[in-house]
Amino acid sequence: MPAKPSILSRLHLQGLRHLEAVVRLGTFDAAARELHVTPGAVSQHIKRLEDRLGVSLFHRYGNRSEPNDAARQIARTLSDAFEQIEQALEQGTGRSESASVKIKLYQTWANRWLIPRLEAFSEQYPDISVEFETGIESVDAGWGDLDMALSMRPDTSPNYTRVPLFTPRLLAVCTPAVAERLGPEVDLSRTARIASRNRMEDWPNWMAAAGLSADDKKPVMVFSNSTLVYEAALAGYGVAIAQLELVLQDLREGRLVRPAPTVIDAASPIVLLQPVSRARRGAARLFHKWLVVEAERLRTRTQAYLDASG
């Protein structure tokens, strides 16, 4: 008795690829850009897939379509399967161009957060190299060979996906000696206020939330980036408004302390951006997943510190 034909015999790989891309990226337009086809072609592939499966995969409301539960379940499995297939092909054919990833981010986030954690990534994926590019300018002007970027700027573009990681917490920090000099009333006139030229709004925002006077005429020590701000604070030059996520270890180990309890949210979240055209590169996919997990771990540690310190 001949074997019953598999359901896969009725399907085309292209239809499955288009379904996975639409669900992962959220829209037919985004899937079309990644797959280098038109939105109409994506829609046709999805319709053929539905016809062959005999089920509907999308809720359709006029010109708008949303994947249903069946589509999401199938797409999740397809994403894992495609990743395994691509990894097998890369290993089997000896391709090396996918064994690297390039990320752009702020220098301070590279120095104080990402670089200290790269050893864990390298142990897990020893064949993948990571290249850094630092800067604060918008990435909208051109991605070049970037695989992803961390940004706090409200740039939007249909050419990349956005994954909000967390919103940094801002608080005042200084050395224990400077905190003692400030006294319990936190008299900021007794020391310098340290600031980054790129984050000058942090001081007035934090002082307003803390109920402190902003009329203090003490000169502010201004640096070109937050890396230098934190180094100056650690050297005992004054008080800085820091992103908690970047000084968490210094606070835990006592190199820095909080002279006042006020904590506020930064104006913008940290967002992970990725060009849709590079989202399926093997190394980029793996690094993207790892980075999202590390960001969640940092958010959890930050919240635990705040809960414990009151």
Output the pLDDT for position 255.
97
**pLDDT 10s digits, 21-32:** 888 877 888 788
Q: Please list the ranges in the chain whose pLDDT falls under 70.
A: 1-11, 83-84, 86-98, 136-144, 154-159, 214-219, 277-280, 310
Map out the domains of the chain as residue ranges: 7-93, 100-167+268-309, 169-265
Alpha-carbon distance of 239 to 252, in angstroms, equals: 17
Q: Which fold has domain 169-265?
A: D-Maltodextrin-Binding Protein; domain 2 (3.40.190)
> What is the CATH code for 100-167+268-309?
3.40.190.10
Bridge partners of residue 136, in order along the sequence:
none
**pLDDT 10s digits, 204-263:** 999 999 988 766 556 689 999 899 999 999 999 999 999 999 999 999 999 999 999 999
Helix-helix angle 13-25:69-93, to 10 degrees: 110
Output the pLDDT for position 280.
64
Check for a shared fold between 100-167+268-309 and 169-265.
Answer: yes
> What is the CATH code for 7-93?
1.10.10.10
Outline where DSSP puts E strands in 21-68.
Answer: 58-61, 64-67
Sheet holding 100-105, edge to edge: 129-134, 100-105, 148-151, 270-275, 160-166
